[in-house]
Chains A and B, each alone.
Chain A
């Protein structure tokens, strides 16, 4: 197999990809510039608290997006550097592959044409030369593979440098939702609605339908709940969308006061709903990937870790119970025999068992220290009592 042409083709592929990444970097750079200009223009064109919030949100989005273009450009630069290394590797591998081919031909000639001891020696030399050429080629390919792996690792840093706009865009979306809610609230007030949306007066105000107002408020709350639970937020948004759909139905049934435009609620809600769905998928994907990584670090014995945890937990729970039972038995035996030391040992042992139980359940340094002291004391007294009984009974 000739590797040199393949490596040379890969150099071309790397350069083509670098060009694509450069174009993407340029695009994102342009977006960052446009966003900066748009937020300044917005601040100049609109003066209100809602506008201030929206401008701040846009600037947040821009700040979050900022690492994108440099990361892509850096990756493109790394790919070009790797392409140059590929050129060099292809040339070196090509020379070594030629050497291997020559050595193979020399060996064949030596085997066919050689005769006698001299022929055997020539064939042996040719064989040695072939092995050396193959070894050098193998080393060169290993070097190229190591270079590729090293480049992949360095490129990984660029992947990590890319922003995860999910969280930031969520923040922006939340802010924009709040800005929108402030807008619609003011419009409601202008239109003469009370808090329940019970009445309206005047005409020409866009947002003046109670169902629409409720739908927007629900959407705003649902987006706020996203930080805690994407599915809940998604359900909330779905509910908000349903409320909006009811509004369209309300309008379709001929409500004369409705002059709203369809795009106001359904577009942001469907956008947010789709975004939350994708984020939810990404979160699930990340959780799965993390679980796989964790699983990869656990010894591949089915259930071993679980069994070990369960056994340790059961033992920890049973130690104080067993200790207390034994100490109780010792106490009873001490009372029967009238042995004061054994009575004291049993009593302290029971106290130790209770203290260890408390330490396991409640924890805390004082309780743990007390439990340890009582356990050691009970054990010492028990041993002392046993020795004392043995000493006393020695002469019997």
Chain B
């Protein structure tokens, strides 16, 4: 049996936590209400929201990738131990 350097249940919990964090980041979009007298502010808020969306999407991608790598490692360990 190969040396096991990972606690599979704990790693799975971490993987789920990473995915959940990505989902939380991208869950809801704030809305900029276009006002009749606040055009410049509306434009800036839209830029802010667009940046927030980009951050959330990037986070979800990166954390999803990390979770997938971790899941794969756990699957490898379980396969080797079996």
Contact = CB atoms under 8 A, between A and B. Distances in A.
Interface centre among A50, A169, A176, A274 (most CB of B within 10 A): A169
Given A159-B44, A162-B48, A144 B37 contact: yes
Q: How large is the interface on B (under 10, 10 to 19, 20 to 34, 35 or more residues)?
A: 35 or more
Given A14-B38, A176-B65, A48 B5 contact: yes
A7 B38 CA distance: 8
Interface stretch (A17-25, A98-106, A236-244, A379-387): A17-25
Contact of A205 (B31, B45, B58, B79): B79
A30 B66 CA distance: 19
B58 A165 contact: yes
A373 B25 CA distance: 68
Interface in A43-93: 44-48, 50-51, 54, 57-58, 61, 65, 68, 71-72, 75, 79, 82, 86
A363 B33 CA distance: 58
A148 B20 contact: no
B55 A176 contact: no
Contacts of A16: 31, 33
Interface stretch (A33-41, A296-304, A340-348): A33-41
Interface in A104-130: none
B11 A27 contact: no
Interface stretch (A224-232, A259-267, A305-313, A325-333): A259-267
Contacts of B38: 10, 13-14, 82, 86, 148
Given A54-B69, A164-B51, 6 more contacts: A27-B28, A41-B14, A45-B7, A48-B6, A156-B47, A271-B61
The 6 nearest A-B residue pairs measured at CB:
A20-B30, A45-B10, A13-B33, A10-B35, A152-B40, A165-B58
Interface of A: 3, 6-7, 9-10, 13-14, 16-17, 20-21, 23-24, 27-28, 30-31, 34-35, 37-38, 41-42, 44-48, 50-51, 54, 57-58, 61, 65, 68, 71-72, 75, 79, 82, 86, 144-145, 148-149, 151-152, 155-156, 158-159, 162-166, 169, 172-173, 176, 179-180, 183, 187, 190, 204-207, 259, 261, 263-264, 267-268, 271-272, 274-275, 278, 282
